[in-house]
């Protein structure tokens, strides 16, 4: 059964065996092994394109391991991180936030380099220099302000 909810397409709900319950749950989250969804999110190489990222939870030596894979680009998307070119085709980490972090930074950096940074219009009446809201996206070429 495949089910779409907003920008998520659920493929497998996953499962936990009794011996996995302690390591694969927290007070707020359950990370079932075999969970697999596809998320529609911004591309790392085209401003206006949303691409599919497959997200999965696997058993990584008794702990949840999170995988995020770009399934729409045949060639691996690369980004310059520091002085290295790094592939963003697939990320793996011990937390979902860490697995997504490099992809999110690559998107923010790509948009900042091409003057198409994601911004929010808060409808401020007066744009005072002293009342600027800092942007904390972390992209190297970020303009550092949201207004």
On the question of pLDDT at 141 being above 90, the answer is no
Q: How far, in Å, CA of 24 to CA of 59, rounded?
A: 9
On the question of pLDDT at 56 being above 90, the answer is yes
141 assigned to some structural domain: no
Per residue in 35-45, pLDDT (tens digit) is 999 998 888 88
DSSP single-letter state for residue 19 = G
User: How many C-beta atoms surround the C-beta of residue 23 within 10 A?
Assistant: 13
What's the CATH code of the domain at 43? 3.30.160.360
**pLDDT tier, 135 (very low <50, low <70, confident <90, very high otherwise):** confident
The predicted pLDDT at position 76 comes to 46
Instruction: Report the SS3 class of residue 108.
Output: helix
The predicted pLDDT at position 78 comes to 53
Task: For the chain, give the mean pLDDT.
Answer: 78
140: tokens are: 């190297």
Looking at the 3D structure of the chain, how many domains does it have? 1
The predicted pLDDT at position 47 comes to 75
128 assigned to some structural domain: no
Handedness of CA 2, 89, 56, 102 (dihedral sign): negative
131 assigned to some structural domain: no
Determine the average pLDDT of the residues in 106-114.
Answer: 80
On the question of pLDDT at 102 being above 90, the answer is no
Q: Above pLDDT 70, what percent of the chain? A: 68
Residue ranges making up the domain that contains 92: 3-119
142: tokens are: 């970020």
143 assigned to some structural domain: no
pTM here?
Answer: 0.67
Determine the average pLDDT of the residues in 5-31.
Answer: 91
The predicted pLDDT at position 82 comes to 44
Which one is predicted more confidently, 12 or 123?
12
């Amino acid at each position: 059964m495949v089910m779409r909810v907003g920008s998520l397409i659920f493929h497998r709900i996953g499962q936990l065996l009794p011996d996995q319950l302690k390591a694969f749950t927290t007070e707020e989250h359950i990370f079932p092994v075999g969970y697999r969804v596809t998320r529609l999110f911004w591309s790392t190489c085209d401003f206006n394109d949303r691409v599919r990222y497959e997200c999965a939870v696997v058993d990584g030596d008794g702990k949840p391991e999170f995988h995020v894979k770009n399934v729409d680009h045949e060639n691996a998307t690369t980004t310059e991180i520091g002085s290295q070119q790094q592939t963003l085709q697939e990320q793996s980490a011990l937390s979902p936030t860490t697995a997504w972090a490099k992809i999110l930074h690559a998107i923010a950096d790509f948009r900042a380099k091409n003057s198409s940074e994601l911004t929010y219009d808060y409808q401020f009446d007066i744009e005072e220099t002293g009342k600027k809201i800092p942007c904390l996206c972390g992209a190297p070429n970020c303009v550092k302000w949201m207004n």
